Amino acid sequence: MACPDCGGVKRERVEFLADNALYTKRFAYYVGRRCRSATVKDIAEELKLDWHTVKELDKQYMRAQLARAGGPAPKAIGIDEISIRKRHTYRIVVSDLIRRRPIWFGGEDRSEASMSQFYEWLGDKKSRGIGLAVMDMWKPFRNATVQHAPNAAILFDKFHVMRHLGEALDQVRKSEYARLSGKDRRFIKGQKYTLLSNRENLTLEGRQALKTLLAANKRLNTAYLLKESFGQLWSYHSEGWARRFFDNWRSALKWQRLAPYEKFAKMIERHWDGIAAYCKPENKVSLGFVEGLNNKIRVIQRRAYGLRDEEYLRLKILTCMLPKL
C-alpha cells in the first residue's frame, strides 16, 4: 500500500505470518515440533518442502521457544565442553541445574577467555547470584568462575572424576596385557568395555566374562574393586567422613603396584576442595543431568541436525530440554 505521507510503497506486517511470508507461524511451529523427533530431511520429504525451508521454519520455532522460556538467572550451573568438529574444535555448554536446561552455548574453544564470555553475557549481577558451579577439573573453567562468580562454590563433576579413574583402570589392563604372554592373555584380550562398563549395564554373557577375567588376574581384580568402591565418596554428608574414606581408600593402594591409581589419588588430593564441596547440603544437586545432556547432544550430532550451521546446533542444544510450544 502507498504511504499517505511519503507516497512510498509499504508492506504491512501481518503478525500470524512466519519469517518466511509463504507460511504461517502456526505451520512453522508444527514443523518445529515435528523436527524434535525426526530429521529435517524426513520432514521435508513428508511435507514436500525444500530442506532449507524446513530448517528455517524450525529455527523460528526454536527462537520462539527460547523467547517464551525467558532470560536465565541461574543459582546452580553445570559447565562442560563438547567437540563440534574434528581436530579438537570445542564449544562450551552451560546448564541451569535447578531448571534442568542448557542456557548458553558458545566460545571459540575451552579457554578461560571463552568461559568468561558466558559470564559477560549473563551480566555481573546474575553472575554474583550463582551459588554453585559444577564442572570438570579443567583449570580455565575454574579460574573464570572464581573471577566472575565469586560467590559460587566449585564442585567437580562426579562423572568426570570417575572417568579419570576408569582411564586409570584401563592403563592397568594394558600393563597386565603387556606383562603376560601366550594363553594368559586370553582372559584380557577384547575385554576393555566389559571391564569399564557398569556391572548393571552388562549382559549375562558380559557378566560371566567379567567374572572370569577378575578370577584370572589378581591385579585387575584389585583395581576393579577399588574403582567400584570409590563411588561411595559422594554418599557422605560430612567432609570429615568423606576425607576418612578417601584416606582409607588411598591407603589400600599401598603395596598394590598400581601406578595409575596412585597418580589418580594425587590428582584427587590436589582437587579435594572441589570434591568435598558435595558434602554440604546446599550443594546436593543432580550430578547426572550434565552427563545426560551430553548424551542428548551426541544424539543431536549423530542425527546431523545441520551441523555445519553452528547457529542451528546452538538452537537445538538450547531447546532440547524445553517443553513444546
Contacts of residue 95, defined as CB under 8 A and 6 or more positions apart, other chains included, come to 77, 78, 79, 80, 101, 102, 103, 289, 290, 293
Q: Compute φ and ψ for 207, nearest 5 degrees.
A: -65, -40
pTM of the model: 0.85
Domains of the chain, by residue range, sit at 1-70, 76-157+287-319, 159-267
The Cα–Cα gap between 314 and 91 comes to: 10
The Cα–Cα gap between 68 and 319 comes to: 11
In this structure, are residues 202 and 210 in contact, taking their beta carbons and an 8 Å threshold?
yes
Domain 76-157+287-319: assigned CATH number: 3.30.420.10
Q: Compute φ and ψ for 301, nearest 5 degrees.
A: -65, -40
Half-sphere exposure of 223 (CA within 13 A, CB side): 27
Grid coordinates belonging to 216 = 584370572
The Cα–Cα gap between 46 and 49 comes to: 8
- pLDDT digits (tens), the chain, 325 positions: 566 777 666 555 666 666 777 888 899 899 999 998 888 999 999 999 999 999 999 999 999 999 999 999 999 999 999 888 776 789 999 999 999 999 999 999 999 999 999 999 999 999 999 999 999 999 999 999 999 999 999 999 999 999 999 999 999 999 998 888 877 788 888 888 888 888 888 888 888 888 988 888 999 999 999 999 999 999 999 999 999 999 999 999 998 889 999 999 999 999 999 999 999 888 888 777 888 888 888 888 777 655 578 899 999 999 999 988 7
Max CA pair span of the chain: 94
The Cα–Cα gap between 4 and 1 comes to: 9
